[in-house]
Amino acid sequence: MPDIRIKTPNLDEIFEVWKRKATRKDRKRMEKEFGTKGAVFSLDAISAAEYVKDTMKEAAIYFAIKQSLGPAPTGKEENLITAPRVGRVQFYSFKGEGKVDKEQWKGKEIVPHFESIKSVQCKTCKGKGYMENKCKTCKGTGIINETFTVLIGAEQKKEKKPFKYPCATCYGTGYRTEPCKECEGHKNMYKYADLPVPFQTVVTGVPILHSSAQTKYEKEIGDDLHKMVEDVEGIKFNNFKDLESKAEASLGYINKNINKTINSAKNTHKKHEKDKNAQITTQIYLFPMIQMFCETKRGSKFEIYSLGSGAKFMTYSNF
């Protein structure tokens, strides 16, 4: 493509557009910051020459993509827990609710599903809820054996006599039952699955903006360009190879920040080219950007940004 040089707006043009926009938004504040006590407030008395203290020439790169927001990755993870722990899990149910709008969803994309809960017989106790072990008191016999000394006859001779009775610990069975440590006596374990939220597939347009000024207005500028990119004049490129080779000639200036911004935007562009869920829908736009550092009569500091050419540009400010 042939070299195209774009003319940036001059400071007076930018300042004029900004002050009229700022006055429409908050006239009282403009009078407070720029007015002279006892004099009639007039916009004509507010000039860039007096209030713009410094400027920087920057640049912005814009393109748009169409992105498909669809279901989360397939697959599931199963969990096995005891009955009391089931109530501690936050479950989700989408039965009869239809597909979910991914942009409106707040939370993880893979969640525990209530309908996936299933009881599973405890393998340790085989569904009995308890374990049988030999009684330690009677050593598994169910009988307690004791020997008493008995005095026999008039002579009261001592004689050992056996005595046995059922073990009270195991109720004479020889075994003790204890709650199963695995299922905690509930006979069953409970299995549930972490599954994807059933998102609907939504195709949406997304603006991508990279600015060397790194202003906090990047999202706002990107959204505005997405709606009215043809109302702001920039230079269109089909690829970053052309943009990189012609950026300085097109803008009439270049700096390290602009070169870094071009490289960053190029990497983002490559990423979306490889993304199966995204489609780049516009050419690459290069816009001149002017950053103006200003100070009012009262000492309040603020910045004005312009984006576009002298013929068609937009302004933003933190005033």
Average pLDDT of the residues in 125-130: 93
Residue 261 one-letter amino acid: T
Average pLDDT of the residues in 224-241: 91
How many angstroms separate the CA atoms of 172 and 166, rounded?
5
Average pLDDT of the residues in 237-265: 94
Q: Where are the beta strands (DSSP E) in 167-249?
A: 175-179, 188-196, 202-211, 235-237
Q: Residue 73: its pLDDT value, please?
A: 60
Q: Which two tokens stand for residue 274?
A: 């490889």
> What is the Cβ-side half-sphere exposure of residue 162, based on CA atoms within 13 angstroms?
5
Q: Are 69 and 183 in contact (CB under 8 A)?
A: no
pLDDT at 288 over 90: yes
Query: Across the strands, what pairs with 237?
Result: 284
Q: Residue 249: its pLDDT value, please?
A: 92
For 90, residues 6+ apart whose C-beta sits below 8 A from its C-beta are 111, 112
pLDDT digits (tens, 9 = 90+) for 166-218: 999 999 999 998 899 999 999 999 999 999 988 887 777 889 999 998 788 88
pLDDT at 161 over 70: yes
pLDDT digits (tens, 9 = 90+) for 5-34: 788 899 999 999 999 999 999 999 999 999
For 197, residues 6+ apart whose C-beta sits below 8 A from its C-beta are 71, 72, 92, 94, 100, 102, 105, 107, 108, 109, 110, 111
Count of other CB atoms within 10 angstroms of residue 287: 27
- Helix pair angle (27-34, 11-25), 10° resolution: 120
Residue with tokens 């070169």: 259
Q: Residue 12: its pLDDT value, please?
A: 94
Q: Residue 3: its pLDDT value, please?
A: 62
Q: Residue 89: its pLDDT value, please?
A: 96
pLDDT at 144 over 80: yes
What does the H/E/C string look like for 47-84? Answer: CHHHHEEEEEEEEEEEEEEEEEECCCCCCCEEEEECHH
Q: Are 20 and 43 in contact (CB under 8 A)?
A: yes
DSSP 8-state class, residue 133: E
pLDDT at 2 over 60: no
Q: Which two tokens stand for residue 310?
A: 């002298």
pLDDT digits (tens, 9 = 90+) for 59-108: 999 999 987 766 656 678 899 999 999 999 999 999 988 888 887 889 89
- Taking each continuous run of H as one helix and of E as one strand, the counts in the chain are 7, 15
Count of other CB atoms within 10 angstroms of residue 238: 10
- Helix pair angle (240-251, 256-274), 10° resolution: 150
- Among 51-65, 215-229, 230-244, where is mean pLDDT lowest? 215-229
Q: Which two tokens stand for residue 30?
A: 């403009």
Average pLDDT value for the chain = 90
Q: Residue 22: its pLDDT value, please?
A: 94
Q: Residue 101: its pLDDT value, please?
A: 82
